[in-house]
């Protein structure tokens, strides 16, 4: 974070400064990142005592002071050993400070803000863009999947005078949240990857999801660029909603950054990229043909940042993992491949992962899909789990292992398709599934482990990877 006095911070968050017993005053300078988790806090950082759904950060103010907090922002006075700023609502104050920091750095010049949203692919695209932008200078990018009202501003507060590019994921579980993040850090380049059923239950349907995902492009000024997926009809409609210049990516012939000759395999996907009047071959080692769209989105951003296509391709070819728990290839013993893709799941990403499993299965082995529940689908949940079960059968997946009561409908759907006899099995717990798989997996099998993060199958994927390391 840039240097700010306590008085400047108090003004930015509309709070009341309580100097405390440390001898600090209004002109005391604070420079450091911010945290809402006292366990993550480093000396000199700011602790925001935020009230969450499960706990109250005010209870941990003392631990934050002991960890070296330079300042506490809270809704009531909690610990007078360090300065405190008392605000009406801590999460809003966090966003207000992030807004002020980004505004000051932008005014000094040299900072480009890239905002990335979409139902799927945000983290993969963000990681690719961050490596590309690093060729131009220091980059701040969202850690993990920090893309909401808390993670977004925590990322933004890491920006300082040296930062050349801020790459911010902008996610949401309700309408209005992406608009708020966009106003905190107005993008020079705004990217929409897809509009799908991820979080549709929280949004209230696909049309509400469309409205939420379009908030970014609606906010972009004429001087900005909207990077849009030409292949997604809902994203393509957003060109009508923005004042910004539009740059298309996709497989569509109208896309300015596009891919042809796409050939998926077990070691990634090969394709030819066309951009900026050039064409180059790419071996993209991130597993799954669906990740080509994320690569194209990142390439389109790279072009806007002014990078030569050869440099963009070099970064794409250097990537081997979308992110931990996302199409992560593990195992290897006895020719068994474990694909751990259980960090998150939506109907679109589940479908794409199953297609990848079917494409890369070794002829001498089986394809085994270990699937858990997809979360946050609301009224669409039963229908979409049924659809995934049907797809597994129609793709001729050799065996389906369904884990967790919330995913049981997927198992029933596969059985009811009528073409299987015992190839779909159901287990209540991960331990049961783990033991079953260790007994039944055969040499050269390819195993996909896929679920929403809430289902917790990422640990099962890791255990299987360790067992077959």
Please, what are the averages of pLDDT over each run of 10 residues along the chain (469 residues)? 94 94 84 89 94 86 94 94 95 96 93 93 92 97 81 94 95 85 96 77 70 92 97 96 97 96 92 97 93 96 97 95 76 93 87 93 94 86 91 92 93 79 87 96 96 89 94
DSSP line for 357-417:
HHHH--TTS-EEEEE-PPPS-GGGHHHHHHHHHHHHHHTT-SEEEEESGGGHHHHHHHHHT
**Domain for residue 403, yes or no?**
yes
In this structure, the answer to whether residues 332 and 313 fall within a common structural domain is no
Structure tokens belonging to residue 173: 């579980």
In this structure, the answer to whether residues 336 and 299 fall within a common structural domain is no
What CATH number did the domain enclosing 346 receive?
3.90.190.20
In this structure, the answer to whether residues 204 and 254 fall within a common structural domain is yes
Spatial strand order in the sheet of 34-35: 16-18, 84-86, 71-74, 46-48, 34-35
**Domain for residue 171, yes or no?**
yes
20 annotated as ligand-binding: no
Judge whether 160 and 98 are in contact, CB under 8 Å.
Answer: no
In this structure, the answer to whether residues 238 and 357 fall within a common structural domain is no
Segment holding 279, helix H or strand E: strand 278-284
**Domain for residue 286, yes or no?**
yes
In this structure, the answer to whether residues 138 and 83 fall within a common structural domain is no
In this structure, the answer to whether residues 223 and 245 fall within a common structural domain is yes
**Domain for residue 16, yes or no?**
yes
Query: 266 is in which domain, residue-wise?
Result: 110-318
Give 30's strand partners: 4
Domain termination residue (choose one: 264, 283, 318): 318
90 annotated as ligand-binding: no
Residue 11 phi, psi dihedral angles, 5° rounding: -65, -40
Domain termination residue (choose one: 261, 285, 318): 318
Pairing of β 424-427 and β 399-403: parallel
Q: What is the pTM of this model?
A: 0.87
Judge whether 28 and 44 are in contact, CB under 8 Å.
Answer: no
pLDDT confidence of residue 419: 57
124 annotated as ligand-binding: yes
Distance (Å, rounded) from C-alpha 295 to C-alpha 289? 10
**Domain for residue 439, yes or no?**
yes
**Domain for residue 102, yes or no?**
no
**Domain for residue 457, yes or no?**
yes
* Closest residue by Cα to residue 237 from 170, 271, 192: 192
3 state DSSP class of 82:
coil
Hey, what's the torsion of the CAs at 278, 279, 280, 282, to 10 degrees?
A: 120
Number of domains composing the chain:
3
260 annotated as ligand-binding: no
In this structure, the answer to whether residues 168 and 248 fall within a common structural domain is yes
**Domain for residue 97, yes or no?**
no
Structure tokens belonging to residue 408: 């049981």
122 annotated as ligand-binding: yes
Structure tokens belonging to residue 74: 């809270």
118 annotated as ligand-binding: yes
CA 382 to chain centroid, in Å, comes to 25
CB neighbours of 242 closer than 8 A, spacing ≥ 6?
A: 190, 217, 218, 220, 226
Q: Which residue has the tokens 């001729």?
A: 396
What CATH number did the domain enclosing 33 receive?
3.40.1390.10
Distance from the first to the final alpha carbon of the chain: 42
In this structure, the answer to whether residues 87 and 119 fall within a common structural domain is no
Hey, what's the torsion of the CAs at 160, 161, 162, 166, to 10 degrees?
A: 50
In this structure, the answer to whether residues 126 and 261 fall within a common structural domain is yes
In this structure, the answer to whether residues 260 and 386 fall within a common structural domain is no
Distance (Å, rounded) from C-alpha 259 to C-alpha 252? 8
Structure tokens belonging to residue 33: 């990142």
CA 226 to chain centroid, in Å, comes to 19
229 annotated as ligand-binding: no
pLDDT confidence of residue 326: 77
What CATH number did the domain enclosing 230 receive?
3.40.1190.10
In this structure, the answer to whether residues 397 and 268 fall within a common structural domain is no
pLDDT confidence of residue 5: 95
Domain termination residue (choose one: 318, 349, 376): 318
In this structure, the answer to whether residues 453 and 388 fall within a common structural domain is yes
């Amino acid at each position: 974070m840039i240097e700010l006095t306590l008085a400047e911070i108090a003004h930015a968050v509309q709070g009341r400064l309580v100097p405390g017993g440390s001898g600090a005053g209004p002109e005391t300078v604070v420079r450091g990142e911010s945290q809402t988790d006292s366990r993550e806090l480093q000396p000199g950082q700011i602790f925001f005592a935020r009230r969450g759904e499960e706990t109250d950060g005010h209870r941990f103010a003392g631990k934050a002071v002991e960890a070296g907090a330079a300042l506490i922002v809270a809704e009531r006075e909690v610990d007078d050993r360090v300065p405190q700023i008392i605000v009406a609502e801590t999460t809003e104050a966090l966003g207000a400070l992030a807004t002020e920091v980004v505004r000051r750095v932008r005014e000094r010049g040299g900072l480009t803000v890239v905002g990335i949203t979409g139902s799927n692919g945000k983290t993969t695209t963000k990681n690719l863009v961050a490596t590309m932008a690093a060729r131009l200078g220091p980059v701040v990018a969202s850690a993990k999947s920090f893309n909401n009202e808390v993670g977004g501003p925590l990322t933004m507060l890491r920006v300082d005078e040296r930062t050349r590019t801020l790459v911010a994921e902008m996610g949401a579980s309700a309408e209005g949240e992406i608009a708020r993040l966009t106003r905190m850090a107005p993008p020079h380049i705004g990217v929409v990857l897809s509009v799908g059923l991820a979080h549709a239950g929280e949004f209230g349907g696909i049309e509400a999801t469309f409205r939420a995902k379009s908030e970014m492009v609606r906010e972009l000024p004429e001087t900005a660029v909207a990077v849009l997926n030409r292949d997604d009809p809902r994203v393509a409609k957003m060109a009508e909603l923005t004042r910004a210049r539009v740059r298309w990516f996709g497989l569509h012939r109208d896309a300015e950054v596009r891919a042809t000759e796409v050939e998926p395999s077990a070691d990634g996907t090969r394709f030819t990229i066309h951009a900026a009047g050039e064409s180059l071959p790419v071996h993209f080692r991130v597993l799954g043909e669906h990740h080509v769209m994320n690569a194209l989105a990142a390439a389109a951003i790279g072009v806007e940042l002014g990078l030569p296509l050869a440099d963009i391709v070099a970064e794409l070819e250097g990537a081997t993992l979308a992110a931990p728990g996302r199409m992560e290839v593990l195992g290897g013993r006895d020719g068994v491949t474990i694909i751990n893709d259980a960090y998150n799941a939506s109907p679109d990403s589940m479908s794409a992962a199953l297609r990848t499993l079917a494409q890369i299965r070794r002829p001498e082995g089986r394809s085994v899909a270990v699937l858990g529940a997809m979360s946050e689908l609301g009224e669409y949940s039963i229908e979409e789990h049924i659809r995934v079960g049907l797809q597994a059968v129609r793709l001729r997946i050799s065996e389906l292992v369904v884990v967790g009561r919330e995913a049981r409908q997927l198992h029933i759907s596969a059985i009811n398709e009528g073409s299987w006899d015992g190839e779909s099995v159901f287990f209540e717990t991960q331990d049961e599934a783990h033991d079953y798989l260790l007994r039944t997996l055969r040499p050269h099998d390819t195993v996909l482990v896929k679920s929403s993060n809430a289902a917790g199958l990422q640990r099962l994927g890791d255990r299987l990877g360790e067992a077959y390391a």
